[in-house]
């Protein structure tokens, strides 16, 4: 089997197949019936499943997220799409106070199998309110799961797993990945939530990366190889629950760690992974842990500044070298 799909096609296929197979799955959100608003990720859904199960909504993120959460309590498996994570701030009460809490707060009597799909849509001079990556905030919240696929294979498999999961899952996809192509089985399959994967084995240093930065990490590793540096790449895939063991075992082997995540630095996902490692594998560490991230600033519009704002393979290469230099 070596059928190739793009990342966005993989998303589309996961939704289509799940809706075909399970009548409790439906999709709602701004632009799910738009020819362009959420890329091609929802193309064809309306035509196939109609107005009942493909609901293009008013611009009311909080209310609409609440509606999805409520439907989940009544046995549905809704997917609520937020075309930009930036819009999700409006919906925080429903995502956190409600969706994340209800199962625990009611002693297990209610559960909320909702998939909350937040799209990272940045670059192109979109500026501060149309660029954000909020994984760190959601990662902080007990009761939520958070996944960030980096490949077409995972985009499909994690979306299937998210829809089937009995808990609220924040599924984060990045438009910078949409045109990447890769092998995607035609049948339904799951990528387990909470399991990372080693994308590349190496012995000198571990780079733990999320989402789009896994691609940049791959490029970085190729460049580093030319200089004789052997990089291990861990693609986290899930930020909550974290695959603690995978990360810790890798660091135990290499003794060095760079974390590459596309959110802001302070209080970002990298902070947690660093703290995890220093709490559990301190003895194995040979060098300070470095974080590759956004700087602590809002996203600027001007492409002249965007270039400096978004981390790339080069940023990862520099961080790796710095860690190696500072090794004990």
Partner 1 sequence: MVKTGIPVATLREMYVTMLRIRRCENTLVELLRINEIRCPTHLYTGQEAIAAGICANLRKDDYVFSTHRSHGHYIAKGGDLKAMMAELYGKRTGCSRGRGGSMHLVDPEVGLMGSAAIVGSTIPLAVGTALASAIQGNNRVAVAFFGDGATDEGVFDESLNFASLRKLPVVFICENNLFSTHLPLYLRQPADNISERAQTHIMPGIKIDGNNVLEVYEASQEAIDNARGGRGPSLIECRTYRWRAHVGWPQDYDVGFRTKEEVKKWEKRCPIKAFEKFLAGQGVLSESEKSQISEQIDREIEEALTFARESPFPDESELLEGVYR
List residues with catalytic annotation.
Answer: 61, 130
44 scored as a contact of its own copies (CB under 8 A): no
The 142-181 contact track toward partner 1, x by CB under 8 A, reads: xx-x--------------------xx--------------
Report how far residue 29's alpha carbon sits from residue 126's, in angstroms, rounded to the nearest whole number: 21
Helix axes 313-325, 212-226, angle to 10 degrees: 60
Name the residue nearer to partner 1 (CB basis): 120 or 257.
Answer: 120
**Residue 145: helix, strand or coil by DSSP?**
strand
Of the chain, the end-to-end C-alpha distance in Å amounts to 47
- By CB under 8 A, tell whether 194 contacts its own copies: no
Q: Residue 50 interacts with partner 1 (CB under 8 A)?
A: no
Angle at 138 between CA 114 and CA 258, to 5 degrees: 130
The answer to whether residue 275 forms part of the interface with partner 1 (CB under 8 A) is no
Question: Any contact of residue 56 with partner 1 (CB under 8 A)?
Answer: yes
Angle between helices 269-280 and 244-254 (to 10 degrees): 60
Please give the size of the binding site for partner 1, defined by CB under 8 A: 76
Task: Give the distance, in angstroms, between the CA of residue 183 and the centroid of all CA atoms in the same chain.
Answer: 19
d(CA 74, CA 58): 22
Give 111 or 244: the residue with its C-beta nearer to partner 1.
111
Q: Which does 260 bind (CB under 5 to 8 A by kind): ligand TPP, partner 1, its own copies, none?
A: none
d(CA 133, CA 212): 11
Token pair belonging to 40:
């091609």
Q: Is 88 exposed, middle or buried (0-12, 13-18, 19+ CB in 10 A)?
A: buried
Q: Which is nearer to its own copies, 8 or 146 (CB)?
A: 146
Where helices occur in the chain by DSSP H, the ranges are 7-21, 45-53, 61-73, 92, 102-105, 135-139, 152-164, 212-226, 244-254, 269-280, 303-309, 313-325
Shortest separation between residue 82's beta carbon and its own copies, angstroms:
12
- Residue 219 or 322 having the CB closest to its own copies: 322
Question: Can you tell me the distance from the alpha carbon of 256 to that of 290, in angstroms, rounded to the nearest whole number?
Answer: 9
Within residues 109-148, the interface with partner 1 by CB under 8 A covers 109-111, 124-130, 142-143, 145
The residue whose two tokens read 């890329």 is: 39
* Candidate list 90, 125, 190, 312; residue touching its own copies; CB under 8 A: 90
Binding to ligand TPP, residues 77-106 (CB under 6 A): 87, 90
Contact map string, positions 4 to 43, toward ligand TPP, x by CB under 6 A: --------------------------x-------------
SS3 67: helix
Q: Does 256 bind partner 1 (CB under 8 A)?
A: no
Measured from the CB atom, the residue of 90 and 284 that comes closer to ligand TPP is: 90
> What is the token pair recorded at 13?
């296929």
Q: Which residue has the tokens 């999700």?
A: 88
Which of 19, 64, 229, 259 lies at the binding interface for partner 1 (CB under 8 A)? 64
CB of 90 to ligand TPP, least distance (A): 6
Residue 286 in contact with residue 328, Cβ under 8 Å? yes
Stretch that binds its own copies, among 48-56, 166-174, 293-301, 308-316 (CB under 8 A): 293-301
In the complex with its own copies, the residue whose CB is nearer, 124 or 267, is 267
Q: Where does this chain bind its own copies (CB under 8 A)? A: 62, 86, 89-90, 92-93, 96-97, 100-101, 104-105, 127-129, 136-137, 139-143, 240, 242, 263-264, 266-272, 274-275, 278-280, 282-283, 285, 287-291, 296-298, 300, 326, 328
Q: Where does this chain bind ligand TPP (CB under 6 A)? A: 30, 59, 61, 87, 90
């Amino acid at each position: 089997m070596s059928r190739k799909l793009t990342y966005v096609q993989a998303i589309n296929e996961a939704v289509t197949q799940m809706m075909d197979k399970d009548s409790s799955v439906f999709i709602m959100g701004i632009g799910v019936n738009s020819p362009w608003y959420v890329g091609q990720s929802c193309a064809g859904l309306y035509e196939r499943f109609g107005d009942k199960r493909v609901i293009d909504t008013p611009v009311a993120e909080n209310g609409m997220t609440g509606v999805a959460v409520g439907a989940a309590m009544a046995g549905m498996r809704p997917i609520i799409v937020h075309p930009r994570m930036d819009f999700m701030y409006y919906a925080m009460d429903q995502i956190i106070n409600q969706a994340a809490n209800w199962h625990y707060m009611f002693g297990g009597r209610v559960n909320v199998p909702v998939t909350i799909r937040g799209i990272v849509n940045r670059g192109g001079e979109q500026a501060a309110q149309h660029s954000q990556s909020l994984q760190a905030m959601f990662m902080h919240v007990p009761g939520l799961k958070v996944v960030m696929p980096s490949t077409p294979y995972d985009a499909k498999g994690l979306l299937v797993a998210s829809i089937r999961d009995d808990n609220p899952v924040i599924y984060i996809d990045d438009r910078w990945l949409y045109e990447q192509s890769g092998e995607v089985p035609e049948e339904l399959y799951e990528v387990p939530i909470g399991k990372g994967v080693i994308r590349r084995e190496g012995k000198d240093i571990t780079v733990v990366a999320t989402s789009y930065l896994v691609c940049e990490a791959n490029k970085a590793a190729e460049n580093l190889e030319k200089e004789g540096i052997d990089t291990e790449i861990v693609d986290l895939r899930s930020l909550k629950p974290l695959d603690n063991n995978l990360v810790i075992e890798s660091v135990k082997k290499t003794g060095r760690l760079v974390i590459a995540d596309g959110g802001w630095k302070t209080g970002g996902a990298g902070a947690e992974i660093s703290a995890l490692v220093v709490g559990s594998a301190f003895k194995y560490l040979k060098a300070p842990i470095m974080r590759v991230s956004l700087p602590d600033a809002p996203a600027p519009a001007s492409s002249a500044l965007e270039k400096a704002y978004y981390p790339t393979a080069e940023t990862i290469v520099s961080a790796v070298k710095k860690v190696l230099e500072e090794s004990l």
